Structure 1
Amino acid sequence: MRGLKKQRRIQVIALAVVALAISTALIGYAMRDGINFFRSPSEIAAAPPAPTELFRIGGLVEDGSVLRGQGTKVTFRVTDGGASIPVSYDGILPDLFEEGQGMVGQGRYIEGTFEAVEILAKHDETYMPAEVVDALKEQGVYRETDEGPAIN
């Protein structure tokens, strides 16, 4: 009788482990397209991603680089102080998008240009995404002042 209870307990535990493994695999499979990696312009310049990879780029919009084309087509350059990457976007930019300010774009790096499908801008005068701040600190161009963050 005692051996039967122990055997049943082991079977239940084994079944629970298998169910957990299957559910984890299904969740990972469902999320595979929802995970977007962040890269700074320096990382992209050093190791360009595949043209099929969807990822996010963040940095500062380079002063004097915004060119508006026909309709909603816009091109500009994004930098982190170490490298500068050209960005192409066809759509309506956020109201707070401007030169010298932080931005995050989502898209693909194709033939030397980041083709964005979404552009996000800062939401107030001191906000900058944590990934962008980290990348700028690595480059040595970010510093904190009494008035808020500043770029060297």
Structure 2
Amino acid sequence: MTRKRRRLQIAVLGMLSLGTATALALTAFQDNLVFFYSPTDITEKGLAPDQYVRIGGLVEEGSVQQLEGNHVAFRVTDLANAIPVTYTGILPDLFREGQGVVAQGSIGEDGTTFVAREVLARHDENYMPTEVAEALKASGEWRPESGQPPPR
């Protein structure tokens, strides 16, 4: 085997290794991505029961129910559609009706209720997650609070 052919084989083997490593890294990133959906997106597209996602919107007025233990049920709305959410755990102190919220979890076995593993509430009166604000603006229901700029 000539020296030139050996160099070519090493270069091809190196490129193949680099391509394999890149493919594995991209696959790992894809597995860890958590996509954001509004209640309208979930209503229109539907989700697989085991798909881990984030939903966001406003906690619907009059929808929060304290169930037995640390179980809580509420509805998240983007003012066009709403989706029921259940959560087991302690809610953030700033969680309340009419406020922005982002919940991470998946659709339950019934196919309609979102089972949250984590609930995030906005941290002060001038903050709303960008995704939630954009979804509300897209639905035509954006109502900025005093001093809050519209999402970019």
TM bucket by the smaller chain?
0.7 to 0.9
Instruction: Rate the CA distance shift 1:144–1:9 in 2: closer, same or farther, 3 A.
Output: farther
**Structure 1 residue ranges (4+ consecutive) displaced by more than 3 angstroms after TM superposition:** 7-13, 143-146
| 1:103 positional shift | 0.8
Give the alignment of 1:39-78 within 5 angstroms: 39-78=37-76
Structure 1 segments unaligned to the other structure (5+ residues): none
Work out the CA distance in 1 between the residues paired with 2:124 and 2:27: 36
Cα RMSD after superposing both structures = 2.1
Corresponding residue for 1:128?
128
Q: Percent identity between the aligned chains?
A: 50
Equivalent residues of 1:59, 1:79 under 8 A apart: yes
Equivalent residues of 2:49, 2:107 under 8 A apart: yes
State TM-score, norm by structure 1: 0.85
Instruction: Rate the CA distance shift 1:92–1:28 in 2: closer, same or farther, 3 A.
Output: same
> CA-to-partner distance for each residue in 1:102-133, whole Å, 9 max, x for gaps?
11111111221001111111122111111111
Corresponding residue for 1:81?
79
> CA-to-partner distance for each residue in 1:11-52, whole Å, 9 max, x for gaps?
454334212211112213333431111111001111210111
Aligned length: 147
> CA-to-partner distance for each residue in 1:49-73, whole Å, 9 max, x for gaps?
0111111101111111111111110
Equivalent residues of 2:58, 2:78 under 8 A apart: yes
State TM-score, norm by structure 2: 0.85
Structure 2 segments unaligned to the other structure (5+ residues): none
Corresponding residue for 1:29?
27
Q: Partner of 1:50: helix, strand, or coil?
A: coil
